[in-house]
Structure 1
Amino acid sequence: MVRSGLLGIVALAFLQGAALAQMHGQHASEAACEEPTLRCATKVTPAFGPDGTLWLAWMAGGQVSVASSPDAGRSFSAPTQATKRLNLDWGPDARPKIVVDRKGGIALAFSIFRDEAFNGQVLYTRSSDGGKSFAELRPITANNESQRFEALALDQDGTVFAAWLDKRNRVPAKEAGRRYEGAGLFFASSRDGGATYAEAKLARDNTCECCRLGLTFAAPGRPAVIFRNIFEGGVRDHAVMTFADVSTPGEIHRVSNDDWQINACPHHGPSLTVAPNGTYHVAWYTSGKARKGLFYAHSRDEGRTFSAPMALGQPGRNPTRPYVLASAVGTVMVWKEFDGEKTSVQMMISRDDGESWSPPKTISSTTDTSDHPLLVSNGQQVYLSWMTKADGYRLTAIEDQP
């Protein structure tokens, strides 16, 4: 893992342009701020509750905090610190994860660094009183090897599904004298709103060990995950897996033959959304021999086959951090670009299930560092959620444009 940690540092330096903080108005961010308040946040993750309340989970001052907004981000409740001060995972693809169920229960998960070799541990907690307090932190698995890059998704029946990257299988491989590449894609589900999780299971071994996962439900009871896999020859291209149920992994299907042969950590994960009609929409970054940059594709057959990759953004402006979300207004896609002076969030919308797209449009910009652009929906309206150091937290409605 020391070797993987060093590779992670190299990749961090290579792709550092994406990870810091953002906020709004009186919540403006401060670079080295050590308070757990929103103005000091470096990573902010949104989720809407069933009553339309916006919830934010963020990292600041070594703690994970939560607050809510009844008015689409114009004002927030007093924050609740869900954790004590910890050595939180600060990697570019790390952030706290949050889902809010129909009963108002809040499930959180995040990762910490346990040592200087970047071995991690995924912790979780839950609030059953509307975010006023959180239960004692627990590890999502009893295994003592490294876990990072967790993702959460909420099913219609309230089941919380978790997936993460896990290094436990390197131990038996080493004992057997076998080379071990990457990490295992592990998963577990919770039937009590994130209070406890079932025993962790392996979905796929030898995946890329250092990129965020894209996770959603393709249908009730059927999680779907996109991840960077390690294919033959050390090629780290993306794959999709759809579960038969929350306990049964499915086959993996390659998204695109990008031929990115790299023995390092990209720290630049993909995005996945499934439309109500079952279409899979994916967006990702690659630097392969076949193509370089950001790309989009869709699948009409549960991820078995995908459309030809469509390039996103202007290559001269370093497009990064794509995110796609299928919604009532269509399928929305955003990413970041840098023109040498400012970072902007670009947006495109498809009204025909990914067959065609509107021209790219700038919907927000900043002159300083910024977090990844995320999309979130309350079921009726899609919003851009973006945290910037200079301007603060922004929740921007994606207007229904012709």
Structure 2
Amino acid sequence: MIRNGLFGIVALALLPGAALAQMHAQHASEAACEEPALRCATKVTPAFGPDGTLWLVWMAGGQVSVASSQDAGRNFSVPVQVTTKRLNLDWGPDARPKIVVDRKGGIALAFSIFRDEAFNGQVLYTRSADGGKSFAELKPITANNESQRFEALALDQDGTIFAAWLDKRNRVFAKEAGQKYEGAGLFFTSSNDGGTTYAEAKLAREGTCECCRLGLTFAAPGRPAVIFRNIFEGGVRDHAVMTFTDLSTPGDIHRVSNDDWQINACPHHGPSLSVAPNGTYHVVWYTNGKARKGLFYAHSRDEARTFSAPMALGRPDRGPARPFVLASPAGTLMVWKEFDGEKTSVQMTTSRDDGETWSPPRTIASTTDTSDHPLLVANGRQVYLSWMTKADGYRLTAIEDQP
């Protein structure tokens, strides 16, 4: 049950009047738009640098580009193309380029491409050491030639970058042994030089669902935590969390919820994970199981060993989808999309008591056209909604704390 909270939400427009119209002309998307410009982007991922600069990486026209803003998304620098030619970028619903910015201003990127018509992927990475002016040559994150997709990046306090992805290399050995191979493996690596090089990839877990985004963060310094859709006994694809003992040692997996979604297919609808400063794990996910259907939230106060009872999100008659959670110094926030038959809206709810109670959901943005997933990004205590829509282009909306 969602109860009244003390956290008020105000959605701020980027710019009023003529200035807003000008911004729409610069950043709005267009039908059949094949240029690498931001206005043509289908997937946009934000990150704040330590100096407050907003960085965006996006996919458009078969290329990946980066730009920065010094005024919270009102104006952007001239884009820098990370790719030198048009690529078959992974266009799956849960795929997007990833970005982290370290304390020295180094920018690490990763994204995946399709290598063939069977949707076998490859994760590529690069880094900028000059403040985004240029990027190093693209390299594969692992030398293995099997399929890798759904990469995730997280930045540790000391600047170490941790990367995880879904990898199908072990299906080759299973086939040679005449064994059945389901799903994919959760693989990982790390970089201690800002994303210039990565250690040899290692297996964390076999038998994960092969086509849903990962939720990745640090539970504590040196201890990555990842949420993923696991394949449990009987082909049930429910969510699990793994917290690493250190950067090279995977931990046990713990089931988030018994949704009993038995499916031999790809949901393409991954979860989200955020760990609060006090160590509480906040998770949100989608399921279509026998036990429950729709979007759900739960939290854990014992490093994901056990979770609270799932709390339903959104209106079932409006198809709630694409959830994202962020535990910030100002509170815990969740966003997701709903469709009422005419427009898609971003709904938000907030908690001031570490996930015990939540404010009534409210609409903070909407569009009558197609849109990217809603994301939350923080710059210190200030949290923003990051959302790309075809009709209105890129929007960075400040979420204000009101008494």
Per the normalisation by structure 1, the TM-score is: 0.94
Superposed, 1:100-249 pairs within 5 Å as 100-249=101-250
Q: 1:251 & 1:379 partners in 2: Cα distance?
A: 32
Deviation of the 1:358 alpha carbon: 0.3
Q: Provide the residue aligned with 2:278 in structure 1.
A: 277
Deviation of the 1:32 alpha carbon: 1.9
Deviation of the 1:24 alpha carbon: 4.3
Q: Provide the residue aligned with 1:69 in structure 2.
A: 69
Do the aligned partners of 1:69 and 1:77 also contact (CA within 8 Å) in 2? Answer: yes
Deviation of the 1:175 alpha carbon: 0.4
Deviation of the 1:58 alpha carbon: 0.1
Deviation of the 1:401 alpha carbon: 3.1
Q: 2:342 & 2:253 partners in 1: Cα distance?
A: 41
Do the aligned partners of 1:25 and 1:391 also contact (CA within 8 Å) in 2? Answer: no
Q: 1:38 & 1:56 partners in 2: Cα distance?
A: 9
Q: Does 1:331 align with 2:332?
A: yes
Q: 2:296 & 2:24 partners in 1: Cα distance?
A: 30
Q: Provide the residue aligned with 2:293 in structure 1.
A: 292
SS in structure 1 at match of 2:206 = strand
Q: 1:232 is matched by which residue type in structure 2?
A: E
Q: 1:153 is matched by which residue type in structure 2?
A: A
Deviation of the 1:74 alpha carbon: 0.4
Q: Provide the residue aligned with 2:323 in structure 1.
A: 322
Q: 2:80 & 2:30 partners in 1: Cα distance?
A: 20
Deviation of the 1:25 alpha carbon: 4.6
RMSD: 0.8
Deviation of the 1:31 alpha carbon: 3.0
Deviation of the 1:399 alpha carbon: 1.1
Deviation of the 1:388 alpha carbon: 0.3
Q: 1:307 & 1:136 partners in 2: Cα distance?
A: 45
Do the aligned partners of 1:55 and 1:67 also contact (CA within 8 Å) in 2? Answer: yes
Q: Does 1:386 align with 2:391?
A: no
Equivalent residues, number: 380
Q: Provide the residue aligned with 1:250 in structure 2.
A: 251
Do the aligned partners of 1:43 and 1:58 also contact (CA within 8 Å) in 2? Answer: yes
Deviation of the 1:292 alpha carbon: 0.1
Q: 1:401 & 1:309 partners in 2: Cα distance?
A: 28
Deviations 1:149-199 (A, max 9, x none): 000000000000000000000000000010000000000000000110000
SS in structure 2 at match of 1:218 = strand
Deviation of the 1:328 alpha carbon: 1.4
Q: Provide the residue aligned with 1:52 in structure 2.
A: 52
Deviations 1:301-347 (A, max 9, x none): 00000000000000000100000000011000000000000000000
Pick closer, same or farther for the CA change 1:24–1:253 going to 2, 3 Å: farther
Pick closer, same or farther for the CA change 1:161–1:24 going to 2, 3 Å: farther
Q: 2:313 & 2:355 partners in 1: Cα distance?
A: 13
SS in structure 2 at match of 1:237 = strand
Deviation of the 1:235 alpha carbon: 0.1
Q: Provide the residue aligned with 2:267 in structure 1.
A: 266
Q: 2:47 is matched by which residue type in structure 1?
A: A
Q: Provide the residue aligned with 1:96 in structure 2.
A: 97
Q: 1:341 is matched by which residue type in structure 2?
A: E
SS in structure 2 at match of 1:44 = strand
SS in structure 2 at match of 1:229 = strand
Q: 1:130 & 1:92 partners in 2: Cα distance?
A: 30
Q: 1:24 & 1:248 partners in 2: Cα distance?
A: 47
SS in structure 2 at match of 1:230 = strand
Deviations 1:14-65 (A, max 9, x none): xxxxxxxxx9452110132111100110100000000000000000011100
Deviations 1:255-309 (A, max 9, x none): 0000000000000000000000000000000000000000000000000000000
Do the aligned partners of 1:323 and 1:375 also contact (CA within 8 Å) in 2? Answer: yes
Q: 1:336 & 1:122 partners in 2: Cα distance?
A: 28
Do the aligned partners of 1:24 and 1:394 also contact (CA within 8 Å) in 2? Answer: no
Q: Which consecutive unaligned segments of at least 5 residues does structure 1 have?
A: 1-22
Q: 1:153 & 1:322 partners in 2: Cα distance?
A: 19
Do the aligned partners of 1:72 and 1:395 also contact (CA within 8 Å) in 2? Answer: yes
Consecutive aligned runs of 4 or more in structure 1 exceeding 3 Å deviation: none
Q: 1:181 is matched by which residue type in structure 2?
A: E
Deviation of the 1:379 alpha carbon: 1.4
Deviations 1:123-142 (A, max 9, x none): 00000001010000000000
Q: 2:169 & 2:362 partners in 1: Cα distance?
A: 44
Q: 1:79 is matched by which residue type in structure 2?
A: P
- % identical equivalent positions: 89
